A and B are shown apart, each in its own frame.
Chain A
Amino acid sequence: MVKNFGYKILSDASIDFDRNDKRIADYLKAHEPSMNLCIGCGSCTATCSAGHFVDFNIRRIHTFIRRGETNQVKRDILKCMFCGKCQLVCPRGVNLRNVILTINRAIEQTG
């Protein structure tokens, strides 16, 4: 009998940069280099149409991509409505609609 003490052992949350899948990050860097201009201000996320209704956060997706946590990216990217507001508010001129499209393509190609 295991007594329920009200706590559990957390799964390992460490991120191994050497083992993680950086293919989406590389693909994005090669095909839409304007993403490198991002300063992470979060304007895109603040104005996001989809983000208004659901947990959808472009800045976080960007972080996931850089870390190579592709499962979350694959799950989240489906929610984008593609309206393009993010691109209009971006103070760095990141070509965000193409970023999303490029991520879609990267997922398609990397499986």
Chain B
Amino acid sequence: MINFNLFVLPFFLGLIYLVAKIGKTWYRWIKALPAIDKVKFIAGIRHPQLFLSALKEVFLEALIHRRMWKRNPLLGYMHMSFALGWFLLIVCGNIESRFYSGTHLNAPYYPIFLKFFIHDKLVLFFEVFSVPGFFRFLMDFLLLFVLSGLVLALIKRQKSKWFGLKRTTEFQLTDSISLACLWLIFPMRLLAESYTAGYYGSGGGFMTQPLGNLLVAITPFRSDYAAYSMWWGYSLSLGIFFITLPYSRYMHIPTEVLLIFFRHLEIQPKKWYSSFSDVEVQACSRCGVCIDVCQLNDAGINDSQAVYFIRGVRDKYVPEEISRKCLLCGRCQEVCPVGISTDSLRLIKRRELVSGQASDFSYLTTQRTGAPCQGEVVYFAGCMSHLTPAIIRAMKGIMEQAGISYVHLDENGSVCCGRPLMIAGKDRQAQGLIDFNKRLIGLTHAKLLVTSCPICYRVFREEYNLPIRIQHHSQFILELVKTGKIPLQGHFKNVAYHDPCDLGRGSGVYTAPRELLSKIADLVPVPQDANNALCCGGSLGIFEASQQQHNAMTAVTLDMLMKNQPEILATACPLCKKTLEKQSPVAVKDIAELVYESLPKPVYFAASGQSHPAKSYANELI
């Protein structure tokens, strides 16, 4: 018997097209990698350990969907049933087909339409307990597994809340076509296999055989044509899905595999749009998990969430303001099931937008700013701290108490660290500021740079390449406390800690501020903290938001922070402090301030007979 029928063509041609298209795209991406990454890639895939660990990750993420499970079990199950179920159907179907063909060289369509090609094989009762019988059971079971996911997917269209999604992505035309075909594939397979089993009595599994008998019983015209048309439908839905796949959201399926390999082989995102960015963009499944976590929803902005931005990049059309409409808080990046670096993609687009703009910082000279003196620690308060002088005062007090010889680098006005410019995409322009600050820091001959501002902290670590240690003041003070340089006396009740974006998600500093606070305060739990913390709403990342929109976001964050009725809101960022205290019902204090207040008071405060010098001066005046 020749194992061929015309109806395999839509599937077969679709598959050839898909494989060719993906092969071409992958080749183009890998070829476009910078030389160093190409070396990494080639060396990496030859390295068995690296290759296996990447493969393991592919299995866990692309098939099991581990991150989806963590987010919501129902969502995880739905994705797993589609991915793992389909994958196993292909693998087991292939193994099953070997029994019937007796050869290792099957046509690619043979296992897919196996039940058609073997419909004339008689099945005896005792075969149920044999190997082919086991496979019939297994294949039915796997099909049921996939279909259960399909049912969930249909429910999700109506009740996305059950899946932990308040909002889902809007579709484009190709997505809808692909989706319709994808949803048709498995019911069509079920119909075709069942009808074939019922009509020819060729032996289906526990699901297809009874269903087939039923179908045959209720069909008015029992004929080969009915079976043929179902197989045609199955083949067509597969074929159309394969052909539309590269142009729809389902391109993420093959691309995610490549992205996982890239990541395991340490190929990093670049500052410009590279083939890595292309892979990331195509790996976005547009699942919409990033929509709900985006705080711009609170400000009534719902067109610039990561998924829409990435879709724009993919379609080669991003409206300018969409690139600028983002807090860069990194929350979407934390929850992305594919792990796409959404912030860095957004920055790449911003860089493209401002590439023609200039800056001129030639006015920055040490004559103007004053040359710094030398010391072991250099303290950089940061621009924002100049708006919250209490933080600077506290830091100076703490360092004086600890007996540290420090240099206050920006005592007389601060030169910006450069990150605000970089957030706007002006990396090239920021270099002027970075170079100048580096020179100033070098002049101090300090061994440690302490900053009060997480924005500065991040850019010092990421862009400055300083030969000295860099600490945020929460880490610095914690070290002072641990080495016994400052005694802590005071104690605060009910303090809630707010994680600044650039310190937490941006730089991974979560424990130091908490450890320090727990020494001087009773911390109350915050519903959303650590890497799930909310942005204060004052982020410098967004350009296209009015003051009212900023305030709306701050209000939501404050509601969340105030859930367990704290008496003090503690934070570790001058910008967060400045933003929160405008609307907060309780005091907002920086960690440094709290530590400073809990230090033992200087002598002239404690001694009863002596009054504060300022007070006595005031008395004189009166």
Contact = CB atoms under 8 A, between A and B. Distances in A.
Interface size class of A (residues with CB under 8 A): 20 to 34
Given A34-B546, A81-B433, A88-B578, A47 B387 contact: yes
A57 to B, nearest CB: 13
B413 A53 contact: yes
Contact of A53 (B354, B363, B578): B363
Given A93-B547, A95-B546, A53 B368 contact: yes
A95 B414 CA distance: 22
B416 interface: yes
B416 A104 contact: no
Interface string B319-332: 00000100000000
B540 A84 contact: yes
Contacts of B546: 34, 93, 95
Nearest to B357: A104
A82 B363 contact: no
Contact of A80 (B359, B383, B384): B359
Nearest to B432: A81
Interface in A18-67: 34, 47, 49-50, 52-54
Contacts, number: 86
A102 B386 CA distance: 26
Contacts of B29: none
Contacts of A80: 359
Interface stretch (B178-186, B239-247, B420-428): B420-428
Contacts of A95: 543, 545-547
B356 interface: yes
Contacts of A88: 384, 387, 538, 575, 578-579
A54 B413 contact: no
A83 B381 CA distance: 13
B416 A53 contact: no
**B: contact size bracket:** 35 or more
A89 B579 CA distance: 11
A105 B367 CA distance: 32
A107 B356 CA distance: 10
A34 B546 CA distance: 8
Contact of B357 (A47, A52, A94, A108): A108
Contact of A81 (B354, B358, B368, B420): B420
Nearest to A98: B543
Interface in B576-614: 578-579
Contacts of B356: 108
A47 B545 CA distance: 22
Nearest to A102: B543
Interface string B391-430: 0000000000000000000001111100011001010000
B547 A49 contact: no
Interface of A: 34, 47, 49-50, 52-54, 78-85, 88-89, 93-95, 97-98, 101, 104-105, 107-108
Given A34-B546, A53-B368, 12 more contacts: A52-B413, A81-B421, A83-B384, A83-B414, A83-B416, A84-B420, A85-B384, A88-B575, A93-B547, A98-B544, A101-B324, A108-B356
28 contacts: A34-B546, A47-B386, A47-B387, A49-B414, A49-B415, A49-B416, A50-B363, A52-B413, A53-B363, A53-B413, A79-B360, A79-B361, A81-B433, A82-B420, A82-B424, A83-B414, A83-B416, A83-B420, A84-B384, A85-B383, A88-B578, A88-B579, A95-B543, A95-B546, A97-B420, A97-B540, A104-B354, A105-B357
The 6 closest A-B pairs by CB, nearest first: A93-B547, A52-B413, A78-B360, A81-B416, A83-B383, A54-B363
